[in-house]
Structure 1
Amino acid sequence: MGTLTLPSAPSSVAATALRTGIAFAATVALFYALCTLVWLAAPVAFMRFMNNLFHGLDFTPLVAQAAFSWSGFLAAAVVLSTWAFLAGCFFGWLRQRIGA
């Protein structure tokens, strides 16, 4: 039987951590955008889903009657992506350090 080997194109811990951070940040940004699109397309159904997701906790009193703001969306996307990048870099670094 053969062994499974994975390619090791840059093999440094820092490069792997950086790639993991970038991948996680891009994933969070994409899914945040998709979540926003669903909210814009079907706000009532989305709120019902969120209430069910959190075991019946009612989020409707938290909804402010305000128009959608692109600047608010972009600010939140930047903050979430930055946090995800940092968390992904740490995860990638730690994963390499513990030899997983």
Structure 2
Amino acid sequence: MHNPWKTGVALALTMAVSYTVCALLYALWPGQGIAFLNALFHGLDFSRLQAPQAFGVATFFGPLVVLSLWGLLVGSLFAWLHCKLHGKSG
């Protein structure tokens, strides 16, 4: 049985770690990050979206908080629905 809150926390932590790794890689190699996005999205030009300012703490923590909260909510909803659809209380 899935505990909705534990599943939500697990997804939130997974998203926080993956976002942190992604942000670190982008901070170290922004050109390669843009090239990767271009390749990932079949040649769309993401270089026009690259900010002229340096990647800072504020631009890191805002999305980190939003993604973590979103992961908590989505993971909890997923586990709750999973339990309901399988006839288990949660």
Fold similarity call, TM over 0.5: yes
TM-score normalised to structure 1 length? 0.82
Q: CA deviation at 1:19?
A: 0.5
Mapped to 1, the partners of 2:59 and 2:24 lie a distance apart of: 14
The residue aligned with 1:66 is 53
Percent identity over the alignment is: 39
Q: How does 1:17-28 map to 2 (within 5 A)?
A: 17-28=4-15
Gapped regions of structure 1 (runs ≥ 5): 1-10
Q: Which has the larger radius of gyration?
A: 1
Aligned length: 87
Gapped regions of structure 2 (runs ≥ 5): none
From the two aligned structures, give the one with the greater helix fraction.
2
Residue identity in the other structure for 1:72: T
Q: CA deviation at 1:43?
A: 1.0
**Within the alignment, does 1:89 sit opposite 2:76 as a pair?**
yes
Q: How does 1:1-100 map to 2 (within 5 A)?
A: 16-99=3-86
Deviations 1:9-51 (A, max 9, x none): xx6x6xx000100000000000000000110111111111110
TM-score normalised to structure 2 length? 0.90
Q: RMSD in angstroms over aligned alpha carbons?
A: 1.5
